[in-house]
Structure 1
């Protein structure tokens, strides 16, 4: 298989609120908008795409029509401390995980979108020696 694109689609009961969250707070722009589906692309990283789909729409297989849950979306940013200040301090988002630096090589915090999907905002940091040996170079 040789994919030409790959992006998550979140089944949601909160299409309007989710659209606002991802565009206003996280910098995505809408590339398609209907009353049941919204396609988003990040303004600073156009290969970063996401879609929102009304979980009751017939294009979603009936046997799986449910609001998405149990998902964590990672977004790497240049300055996670600045994003903490913008999103938590100034916008008032409630952190699910407070800003911290991990031994495995990231400084991050987690907030939730209107669907309770977790958004992990991350700036890579040097890992400790213990974790450094676990990284592979596949590039």
Structure 2
């Protein structure tokens, strides 16, 4: 199903860069929601980091974006952020207000406790803590 006869690629970093119509506002959203700090800031690009996790925001109309893709929104993008205590993050998000909570905090049979908020420019942000899967799910996929 997956190619195994190829030489592996050495990946040194992998992170989402989300196109935005308002880079400062989007960067502020992710910094506040996820407790991230900027590592690089310009008027068209902001890189944020927390520990080993990195996320960046780029101006959707910047010249580095291929012309036919400029202005594109992040519709269909789901950014999953695994945290050690999803309940604490959910409590903070609800207390802060102003976030568009699309999926309330819940447990999934496949082994996640999570909630989803709407991010800027159409991205969805899925805040997750792994939990044990249900016995039924585990029996199907063991």
Q: Which residue of 2 aligns with 1:10?
A: 18
Distance (whole Å) between structure 2 residues aligned to residue 116 and residue 64 of structure 1: 15
Q: What stretches of structure 1 of length at least 5 have no aligned partner?
A: none
Distance (whole Å) between structure 1 residues aligned to residue 107 and residue 16 of structure 2: 27
Q: 1:25 and 2:33 equivalent? A: yes
The alpha carbon displacement at 1:22 in A equals: 1.2
Q: Which residue of 2 aligns with 1:50?
A: 55
The alpha carbon displacement at 1:130 in A equals: 2.4
Q: Which residue of 1 aligns with 2:4?
A: none
The alpha carbon displacement at 1:75 in A equals: 0.9
Distance (whole Å) between structure 2 residues aligned to residue 60 and residue 16 of structure 1: 18
State whether residues 112 and 130 of structure 2, in contact with CA within 8 Å, keep that contact through their aligned partners in structure 1: yes
Q: Which residue of 2 aligns with 1:60?
A: 65
Distance (whole Å) between structure 1 residues aligned to residue 67 and residue 87 of structure 2: 42
Distance (whole Å) between structure 2 residues aligned to residue 129 and residue 9 of structure 1: 37
Q: What stretches of structure 2 of length at least 5 have no aligned partner?
A: 1-8
Q: Deviations over 1:43-82 (max 9, x none)?
A: xxx2211110001000111011112221111111111111
**Which residue of the other structure, out of 101, 104, 117, is the alignment partner of 1:111?**
117
Distance (whole Å) between structure 2 residues aligned to residue 110 and residue 63 of structure 1: 30
**Which residue of the other structure, out of 80, 83, 88, is the alignment partner of 1:82?**
88
TM-score by length of 1: 0.88
TM-score by length of 2: 0.86
